[in-house]
Amino acid sequence: MRSDAIKKGLERAPHRSLLKAMGYTNEEIRRPLVGVVHAHNEIIPGHIHLDKICEAVKTGVRIAGGTPIAFATIGVCDGIAMNHSGMKYSLASREIVADSVEIMANAHPFDALVLIPNCDKVVPGMLMAMLRVNIPAIMVSGGPMLTGRYRGKDVHLVSVFEGVGRVKANTMTMEELNELEEAACPGCGSCAGMFTANSMNCLTEALGLGLPGNGTIPAVSSARIRLAKQAGMSVMNLLAEDIRPRDIATRDAFENAMAVDMALGCSTNTVLHVPAVAREAGVDLPLTTFNEVSVRTPHLCSLIPGGPHSMQQLDEAGGVAAVMSEMDGLHPEVMTVTGKSLRENLEGVASRNAEVIRPLTNPYHKVGGIAILYGNLAPDGAAIKQSAVADEMLKHAGPARVFNSEEEAQEAILAGNINAGDVVIIRYCGPKGGPGMPEMLSPTSAIIGMGLGKSVALITDGRFSGGTQGACIGHVSPEAAECGPIGLVEEGDRIIIDIPNQSLQLEVTDDELEKRRANWQPPAPKITTGYVARYARQVTSGSTGAVLKDK
């Protein structure tokens, strides 16, 4: 066993002594040592209950003959970090999560790992570490939050963000917003809806690195505790069979996960995270792969925020496994953490609700939920959640309204200075320029709340929350801070968006762009000290997953 390096033989007596200092018995030391990596803290609703998930995992490990040893990593709540300087640290935290798990798993040579994330950057960070360390491992998330209820309607965190715009537009009173605020987030779990956290937890399951139910079983359900115990037991089987993450996360498995991404209508943040995770597995996933998969994968589920159905309804309909059972073109023989192939896992599985999970013969859209747009405004690509775009905005042309920060744009939107037909440009918000590629949930929600969701587009080199809906195009690459064309746009320039044809054009001649480029000056760094300053110097483009440079 890998842990023999710290527990066997004469020279390991000091190591055993340190283990005994914590109360471990000789019998516990002799057993396989299983690291139980959790992100429990008291600042994230999705993580507040992970101590209970951790205890359930440890029970499962003990049942199956292992010795569980828990340790923690960091997490950032994107909702709480939104619309202030804290958002510069969110995406950057993914690398810290991955590095910290790698450090702990290798400094203390565990035989296997169970990883317990729940929220946006923690899930991909743990997946990256899982594949980097490549010892038998399984992931079990904390599960989604239930939707809230407000005056007879399902509500969620994004309802509150949009409520701010409604108050400004005088279509909601402050008293009504206060009532909504009390009701929107009813308890623990990752925010209700197919936002980034739930997207990544579903894709973990589709990739084969989480058990069936990982993405959809509600956080408050006893089934989530049982799933955690099963994960603890299952990792011991993976150890016995020497099945490792890279045996599971093959090119075929990533294509399966991307197809599920399209069928579910997941967050555009998956365009950042899936290639970053694949890179750790040694699998090359260029951005163009998303369009290739999208073209052949119908959109089968219309989930919050772009549609009416909740995560709880998706779970009741059969969850991710039921979605996969409806799909064609998957690679069925890939291995999964159940120790069985995907084909074996899906035997006898079927959708229980043909409206929540539509059949291929009646999809919500004939193509997948995400599209990558290209053109002279985004030579290296830009991402949009096309399943959450109103039909009126699939093709749109209008004048650019240019802002060099989210704060400037938010102020203009809430002041009523954005008009129907405008194309809001928010730039210098990319991985380097942000720094940290901040999410734009506040301005996108304000646009919806102000009643402009079917007449105004927003384009940024930053990114969007999975809670974003509307004609919101992010990850524009190259970013403005690298003198990408988005940094050369001027107020009033005409922007042409054609989502069905995957096109994003700036109606300015090449000669004019070259003149502007010659006069362009790089902006001063917004943060000059600490981790995020180092991150800005080392991070790559959003088109390559915003991973850090190797050198």
- Match 């066993």 to its residue by tokens: 1
Percent of the chain that is helix, strand, coil (3-state, to 5): 45, 15, 40
Q: Which of 199, 294, 351, 465 is catalytic?
A: 465
**Does residue 465 carry a catalytic annotation?**
yes
Q: Is 280 helix (H, G, I), strand (E, B) or coil?
A: helix
- Half-sphere exposure (Cβ direction) of 324: Cα atoms closer than 13 Å: 30
Q: 461-498 as b/e, with b when 16 or more CB fall inside 10 Å?
A: bbbbbbbbbbbbbbbbbbbbbbebbbbbbeeebebbbe
- Helix/strand/coil (H/E/C) assignment for every residue in 118-154: CCCCHHHHHHHHHHHHCCCEEECCCCECCCEEECCEE
Within 10 A of 550 (CB to CB), how many other CB atoms are there?
A: 6
Among residues 71, 293, 87, 312, the alpha carbon closest in space to that of 193 is found at 312
| CA pair distance 536, 486, nearest whole angstrom | 19
| Residue 224 tokens, joined | 């989530």
Please calculate the CA angle 106-107-108 and round it to the nearest 5 degrees: 90
Among residues 488, 512, 489, 507, the alpha carbon closest in space to that of 497 is found at 507
Decide: 20 and 10 in contact? Cβ < 8 Å: no
Secondary structure letter of residue 6 according to DSSP: G
Cis peptide leading into residue 435 (ω within 30°):
yes
Among residues 136, 126, 182, 128, the alpha carbon closest in space to that of 159 is found at 182
Q: Is 220 helix (H, G, I), strand (E, B) or coil?
A: coil
Decide: 484 and 477 in contact? Cβ < 8 Å: yes
Residue ranges in 5-145 assigned as alpha helix (H): 13-21, 26-30, 50-63, 78-81, 90-107, 122-133
Between β-strands 370-375 and 378-385, what pairing exists: parallel, antiparallel or unpaired?
A: antiparallel
| CA pair distance 517, 289, nearest whole angstrom | 30
Please calculate the CA angle 117-123-126 and round it to the nearest 5 degrees: 85
Q: Which residues are catalytic?
A: 465
